[in-house]
Every structure is written in structure tokens, then in C-alpha cells.
Chain A
């Protein structure tokens, strides 16, 4: 029983602790229990419980278990507080620190991996490319131009200027932005379209009239048309930016209007024709347009001859 940790005196003292011999008849009693079928020892449940206690009730295991419990409680508390601050349980509750962090948090849209069904995928393949300009969100340059021009509109000094002056200033401003790299020419055009789209109906009507008047004037210059008495050719006090924005193709002036004006029909007859045209099916309208185009081209050919 030599142990280097103990002095010989201590070893002697320890060695004096003598265990008595095994009680007599131990084996007999044991075998009697076996023969009687009394072999049940500690029940499994008690064994498990005692094993758990044995491993977890002392030393570092106890600290580890306490740490786990504390960590779980802290995590649950934090999660509940965050949920309450985010308003998960109704009205948001102010939680110092958490509420500030939530206010600063940036919401990022989740990526949605939508699995297209087969017909949809086929349709996506066969359909032509959509008009990107119409569906794409305005670029940053577009937004900058729209914002800048909107600011200028609200300026009283700018509003007091004549349309020509306003247009000149607006063009200069847009050109400056393009040169400085804030926007591209495409974005500038998109911005002007955007301004035209958001203009009020009265302004849009004025713009249409202005464009129509310009067209008449151009036709008069070229000598192809008779002067249109019904259209006022004087410049309209419309917003020049919007006026330049509206492309001529978008103006809802029917193509047959010059021809109608040329034909000398009565206004009632013209209205009736318009109603008939508006009531026609798309195929019929296409046929009418095609017919008018052919007639116009044949007239032009005759004139040139």
C-alpha cells in the first residue's frame, strides 16, 4: 500500500483501518436469493436517476449544467424581448437597446425561389421580350433628373419665366447632369417620359394640342396640307418639359385626322365615323388603318407625279 504522497506515519495509520472479513454465510445468502428468484437489484429508473446524479451533481458537471440552464433562460428572455419589441405580440413594446437596434435594422427582401410550373415556363420562353422601358423601375439617374426638375417647378422665379426660357433652363440643367455623369441621355429621356406620365390631365391636353399645332404648322410649311382652321396654332402655356416629353407617336390623334380634314366632311359625319371606329373590333381597326395608309401613300404618289 505504498503511496508516495503519504508519509510512512500516515501510511501506517491508514493501514490500520482494517476491513473485517466477509460475513460468514455470504455466499449462501447470495445463492439463496438467486434460487428464490430474488435477483432484482436497483430498478432501471432509479438506476438512471442515480447515474444522472452521479455524473451531474458535483464538480465541473454541476457548473456546466447550471451554465446551460442560465444560458437557455437568457436566450429565451432575449428572444421574447425582441419579439415584444418587434410587435409580434401586438403593439410594439419599447425595450431599451433592442428597440433601437430594430429601428436601425435594414429590411432585406427575402429571395423567393419560385419554381415555375411548366406551362408558365413555356409561356416565358415563347413570349417576346417585354418592353423593358415601360416595366423597368426608373434608374437612379432618372430619379435624380425628375427630382431636380420637380424642384425647379416649385421655384416661383422659374414659374414666372416664359415657356421658352423654362425649357432652355431645364435643358441646360439636364445637359449639365448628363455631362457630370449623374445621368445618361437614356435616363434623361426616361425622366422626361416620367414627368409627362405624372402630369395632370389639363397639362396633357394642352400638350396634345401643342403637338398637333406643330404638326399642322410643319405640314403647312411643306405645303402638303390645307391650313387647319380648327386647331389653334398659337403656343400653349404648357409646361415645356412635359411638352417635349410627349412623343408624337403617343399623342392620341388619329392618323386619319389630316385626311378627314382634307376631305371636307361635316363635323357630325366625322363624329359618327369616330364612334364607328371606336366601336370596331381590333381587327377592323387594323384594316381601317391599313386602308388609310394605302390611300395616303397613293395620294402622295399622285402628288409627287
Chain B
């Protein structure tokens, strides 16, 4: 009961925030960015594996929120869910564009951020996992990121990918199997445990 009230309170505040954004209130936009930009950034970073592109996607996503604020329908799933959906689809579009523009594999760009670079060099497991996630097909990658990392329930995740629930579950099953096999093959679990 208290959880429902909390959700309702958040939803209401999201709606109020959107009303202010629709009125072109920059402070409201900054508040929305502070609250929700992180999730869009995480999704984009894991989907694309590149900090610069992830920031681009996060900015594009929030700009869409700004541009479409006047069409916001109150009582929905909230700004976070909407941004997750937009960010995921933008990532899929970017990955596809790369695939259509070039027959080769998507080149891995070095992450310019010193923190990420240092982490990747330091942590062998993280690099291996990153490679395994990037090796997944686009939609499987999105399914794993949404359900495992973002903890999105299956139905909303299926809605984000515009799929039927059963189809999404099948996709997720294949994604998990592939990812588990990849991680186990790399031996990073044994190395980490050891």
C-alpha cells in the first residue's frame, strides 16, 4: 500500500514536472535531467559501449523529452520509463545505422574517459563481460540490459522493444543462454572466484 502511494507520488511529481517543462521551465528540465539522465546514460553506455556516444544518446533522449513535453499524457508510467524506451530505441537505431553503413563489425572505440579506461585495464572481468554483451545481437543485448541491469519487469521491457511478452521471453532466454555461455567460456568466473 505504501509502495503504491510512493509510486503515485512519484508519478504525480513526474506529471507536474512535465507540465512545467511544457511551459519551457529550464529549472524543471534540469531537475528531470538530474533525476532520470543517469538511467538513459547507463542503458546507452552498456548498449553502445562508448561513453561519447552514450552521452549523445542521453542528451538526445532528454531533448526529445523537452520537445515532446506538450504531448505528455499524465498518469502513465513516468518519465523514467519513457526515457528508457527512447534511449533503447535510439541505441538500436545507432547500432543498425552502423551495421547498414558498414559490412564490418562495429569498431570498438577506445573510451576516452580516464576513469573507464583505467577500470577496463584494471579489471579483466569487466572487459570480458563487456565484450560478451557487445557480442550479443542488438535486441538480445537490449533485453539483457533492460531486465538484468535496469531491473525492468518483462512486460514493460517487451513494450519498450515493441514485442509480445512471449516473444520477448524467448528472446531473453536466448540472450541469457548466449551471455552465460560466453562468460563461462572466457573463464572470468573461475578467475574471479579464484
Q: Are A23 and B51 in contact (CB under 8 A)?
A: yes
Shortest Cβ distance from residue A48 to the other chain B in the assembled complex, whole angstroms: 11
Q: Are A26 and B180 in contact (CB under 8 A)?
A: no
**Contact pick for B62, options A13, A23, A30, A53, CB 8 Å:** A30
The reply to whether the CB of B12 lies closer than 8 angstroms to some CB of chain A is: no
A13 and B119 contact, Cβ closer than 8 Å, known pairs A3-B148, A26-B37, A42-B93: no
Shortest Cβ distance from residue B27 to the other chain A in the assembled complex, whole angstroms: 9
**B79-105 CB contact bits vs A (8 Å, 1 = yes)?**
000000000011011001100100000
Distance between Cα atoms of A23 and B59 in the complex (Å): 11
Within 8 A of A (CB), among B138-194: 138-139, 147-149, 151, 162, 167, 173, 176, 179-180, 183-184, 188-190, 192-193
The reply to whether the CB of A5 lies closer than 8 angstroms to some CB of chain B is: yes
Q: Are A6 and B45 in contact (CB under 8 A)?
A: no
The reply to whether the CB of A113 lies closer than 8 angstroms to some CB of chain B is: no
Q: Which A residues are CB-close (under 8 A) to B147? A: 3
Distance between Cα atoms of A158 and B132 in the complex (Å): 102
Binds B, one of A54-62, A160-168, A225-233: A54-62
Q: Which B residues are CB-close (under 8 A) to A50? A: 93, 96-97
Q: Which B residues are CB-close (under 8 A) to A59? A: 139, 167
Within 8 A of B (CB), among A14-31: 14, 16-23, 26-27, 29-31
**Contact pick for A39, options B58, B66, B100, B133, CB 8 Å:** B66
The reply to whether the CB of A218 lies closer than 8 angstroms to some CB of chain B is: no
Q: Are A23 and B55 in contact (CB under 8 A)?
A: yes
The reply to whether the CB of A34 lies closer than 8 angstroms to some CB of chain B is: yes
Distance between Cα atoms of A1 and B38 in the complex (Å): 17
Q: Are A58 and B139 in contact (CB under 8 A)?
A: yes
The reply to whether the CB of A9 lies closer than 8 angstroms to some CB of chain B is: yes
Q: Which B residues are CB-close (under 8 A) to A57? A: 96
Q: Are A5 and B180 in contact (CB under 8 A)?
A: yes
Q: Are A14 and B129 in contact (CB under 8 A)?
A: yes
Q: Which B residues are CB-close (under 8 A) to A10? A: 179-180, 183-184, 189
The reply to whether the CB of B20 lies closer than 8 angstroms to some CB of chain A is: no
The reply to whether the CB of A41 lies closer than 8 angstroms to some CB of chain B is: yes
Q: Which A residues are CB-close (under 8 A) to B77? A: none
Chain B residues touching A, majority SS: helix
Q: Which A residues are CB-close (under 8 A) to B42? A: 19
The reply to whether the CB of B3 lies closer than 8 angstroms to some CB of chain A is: no
Q: Are A5 and B176 in contact (CB under 8 A)?
A: yes
The reply to whether the CB of A35 lies closer than 8 angstroms to some CB of chain B is: yes
Q: Are B45 and A20 in contact (CB under 8 A)?
A: yes
Shortest Cβ distance from residue A53 to the other chain B in the assembled complex, whole angstroms: 5
- Determine the interface band of chain B, counting residues with CB < 8 A from chain A: 35 or more
Shortest Cβ distance from residue A153 to the other chain B in the assembled complex, whole angstroms: 80
A53 and B96 contact, Cβ closer than 8 Å, known pairs A10-B184, A19-B46: yes
Distance between Cα atoms of A19 and B90 in the complex (Å): 18
A9 and B37 contact, Cβ closer than 8 Å, known pairs A3-B148, A31-B29, A54-B96: no
**Contact pick for A16, options B45, B62, B92, B192, CB 8 Å:** B192
A20 and B93 contact, Cβ closer than 8 Å, known pairs A5-B180, A13-B129, A30-B62: no
Q: Are A41 and B46 in contact (CB under 8 A)?
A: no
Q: Which A residues are CB-close (under 8 A) to B125? A: 13, 16
The reply to whether the CB of B137 lies closer than 8 angstroms to some CB of chain A is: yes
Distance between Cα atoms of A2 and B75 in the complex (Å): 30
Distance between Cα atoms of A3 and B177 in the complex (Å): 12
Shortest Cβ distance from residue A36 to the other chain B in the assembled complex, whole angstroms: 12
**A227-254 CB contact bits vs B (8 Å, 1 = yes)?**
0000000000000000000000000000
Q: Which A residues are CB-close (under 8 A) to B123? A: 16
Q: Are A13 and B55 in contact (CB under 8 A)?
A: no
Q: Are A13 and B183 in contact (CB under 8 A)?
A: yes
Distance between Cα atoms of A12 and B123 in the complex (Å): 13
Q: Are A17 and B162 in contact (CB under 8 A)?
A: no
Within 8 A of B (CB), among A208-222: none
Shortest Cβ distance from residue B70 to the other chain A in the assembled complex, whole angstroms: 13
The reply to whether the CB of B126 lies closer than 8 angstroms to some CB of chain A is: yes
Q: Which B residues are CB-close (under 8 A) to A27? A: 30, 33-34, 37
The reply to whether the CB of A135 lies closer than 8 angstroms to some CB of chain B is: no
The reply to whether the CB of B74 lies closer than 8 angstroms to some CB of chain A is: no
Q: Which B residues are CB-close (under 8 A) to A299? A: none
A33 and B183 contact, Cβ closer than 8 Å, known pairs A19-B41, A20-B113, A58-B137: no
Closest 7 CB pairs of A and B: A9-B189, A50-B93, A5-B176, A27-B33, A17-B129, A19-B42, A19-B45
Q: Which A residues lie at the B interface, using CB under 8 A? A: 1, 3, 5-7, 9-10, 12-14, 16-23, 26-27, 29-31, 33-35, 39, 41-42, 47, 50-51, 53-55, 57-60
